[in-house]
């Protein structure tokens, strides 16, 4: 286990203008970087726009404070907006000015999420791919049906990973390699004792070759410990969430797990 701590943040904008609209954090999230460690890094970002547009993040120590980091986003799909393995350095307690642009459709909600990696652990268990590869015994999955809540994380309070099936081997460690969804959703997130009760998440796009091993790919590309580990003893206090736009519905998601040797 490495001295890393990973946190998901999601921001939204409604009827985002073509020139960009300031995005606000979902309930429970914050656009201000935590005061954890000395060298936090934004290690991945992904966005969902219902019409063509762009997403942008700027902060005082970014490349510049006018645009900072910006990337165009195509319509009606979730896209990884930061190259796997690349990162954006940021300073503790800096506030990110998140901007989303679309075509100002009334009621349309656009979303931007990012993962911040802190070099100070606050109750998380993260490993790198070489450790998972060395300890991997078997692969398994957990499938859950999640009722989303428009424009925020849903279900309200999350759904326990044991709600639809409870087949994990008792008192064993599982690496969470990634997550997939039968129908596209902006992001899939989870939290519990092994994440320090912070949300960690990945895009919910229909690219199973990426989503099923998102954290493995992110870890391999960066050389960092970015693969969450969960002990089955915490299954009754570990919850799943999805974040979507104003078009709420029920999403069937799959967590892809690797059973690890002791």
CATH number, domain containing residue 18:
2.60.120
Can you give the pLDDT at residue 158?
95
Residues 114, 177: one domain?
Answer: no
Read off the pLDDT of residues 40-61 as tens digits, 9 standing for 90 and up.
Answer: 999 999 999 999 999 999 999 9
Same domain? For 237 and 253 the reply is yes
> How far is the C-alpha of 183 from the C-alpha of 216, rounded, in Å?
22
Q: What is this structure's pTM?
A: 0.96
**pLDDT tens figures, 155-198:** 999 999 999 989 999 999 999 999 999 999 999 999 999 999 99
Q: Characterise 167 by phi-psi region: left (phi > 0), alpha (psi -120 to 50), beta (else).
A: alpha
Closest CA to 126 of 50, 45, 207, 218: 218
The domain boundary residue, chosen from 118, 137, 160: 118
Q: What is the mean pLDDT of the chain?
A: 96
Q: Is the pLDDT of residue 1 over 90?
A: no
Residues 114 and 148 both lie in one domain:
no
Per-residue pLDDT tens over the stretch 109-163: 999 999 999 999 999 999 999 999 999 999 999 999 999 998 899 999 999 999 9
CA-CA distances (angstroms) from residue 22 to 18, 68, 98, 102, 228? Answer: 12, 14, 6, 12, 31
Indicate the residue among 118, 141, 158 that finishes a domain. Answer: 118
Do 71 and 132 fall within a single domain? no
Residue 151: what pLDDT? 87
Same-domain status, 114 and 133: no
Q: Is 104:16 a contact under the CB 8 Å cutoff?
A: yes
- Can you tell me the distance from the alpha carbon of 218 to that of 210, in angstroms, rounded to the nearest whole number? 10
Do residue 103 and residue 20 come from a single domain? Answer: yes
Q: What is the mean pLDDT of residues 2-15?
A: 95
Q: Provide mean pLDDT across the span 201-222.
A: 96
Same domain, 63 and 170: no
Instruction: Please indicate, yes or no, whether residues 98 and 147 belong to a single structural domain of this protein.
Output: no
Point out the domain boundary residue: 95, 118, 141: 118
Question: Is residue 136 domain-shared with residue 255, that is, in the same domain?
Answer: yes
Residue 2 has pLDDT above 90, yes or no: no
- Domain with 54, as residue range(s), is 5-118
């Amino acid at each position: 286990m490495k001295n890393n701590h990973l946190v998901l943040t999601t921001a939204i904008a409604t009827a985002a203008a073509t020139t960009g609209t300031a995005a606000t954090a979902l309930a429970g999230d914050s656009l201000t970087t935590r005061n954890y460690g000395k060298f936090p890094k934004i290690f991945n970002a992904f966005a969902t726009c219902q019409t063509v547009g762009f997403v942008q993040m700027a902060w005082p120590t970014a490349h510049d404070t006018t645009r900072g980091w910006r990337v165009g986003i195509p319509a009606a799909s979730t896209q990884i907006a930061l190259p796997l393995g690349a990162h954006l350095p940021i300073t503790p307690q800096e506030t990110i000015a998140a901007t989303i642009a679309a075509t100002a459709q009334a009621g349309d909600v656009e979303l931007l999420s990012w993962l911040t990696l802190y070099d100070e652990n606050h109750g998380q268990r993260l490993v790198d791919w070489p450790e998972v590869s060395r300890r991997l015994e078997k692969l398994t999955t957990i499938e859950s049906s999640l009722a989303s809540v428009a424009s925020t994380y849903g279900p309200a309070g999350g759904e326990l990973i044991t709600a639809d099936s409870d087949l994990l081997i008792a008192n064993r460690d599982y690496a969470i390699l990634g997550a997939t969804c039968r129908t596209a959703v902006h992001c899939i997130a989870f939290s519990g004792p092994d994440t320090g009760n912070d949300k960690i998440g990945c895009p919910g796009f229909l690219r199973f070759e990426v989503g099923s091993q998102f954290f493995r790919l992110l870890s391999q590309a960066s050389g960092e410990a970015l693969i969450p580990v969960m002990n089955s003893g915490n299954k009754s206090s570990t919850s799943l969430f999805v974040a979507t736009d104003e078009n709420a519905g029920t999403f069937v998601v799959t967590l892809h797990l690797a059973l690890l040797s002791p």
